[in-house]
Amino acid sequence: MSFNNLDALYRQVIMDHYKNPRNKGSLRDGNLTVDMNNPTCGDRIHLTMKVEDGKVTDAKFEGEGCSISMASASMMTQTIIGQDVETAVKLSHIFSDMIQGKDYDDDLDLGDIEALQGVSKFPARIKCATLAWKAMEKGLQEQ
């Protein structure tokens, strides 16, 4: 697949998550809640997660922001549900390296989040893409 076709596919995946976000909403029975914002561009997220026996059993988000920020939140919740806390945090570190254009450990299936790789070419958008991931990591570290 040519670079242009791959880039177009990635844009479609991002727009699909933005227009049809997965896990949008709030958990009534969540035991972790994190609110974060990116004052630079106005993105904000309210993340609720349910963690039981060291595993993320559910996660939902609400918020406002650009397509990258909201698509990333959708992808993040999809990726961490069912993961143990250690793996969820590891995925966050892998995502952070990937989004900054660094070499990253690819031993875990990144699924749709690979579509955000191209953000590394736009440093001003990195904070948009990482907001939900930082919220998730903060919540899991404070539990």
pTM of the model: 0.93
CATH of the domain at 30: 3.90.1010.10
**Mean pLDDT of the chain, nearest integer:** 93
Please state the domain count of the chain: 1
Do the Cβ atoms of 77 and 23 come closer than 8 Å? yes
Q: pLDDT digit string (tens) for 53-98?
A: 999 999 999 999 999 999 999 999 999 999 999 999 999 999 999 9
In whole angstroms, what is the distance from residue 110 CA to residue 23 CA? 17
Q: Range of 129's domain?
A: 3-142
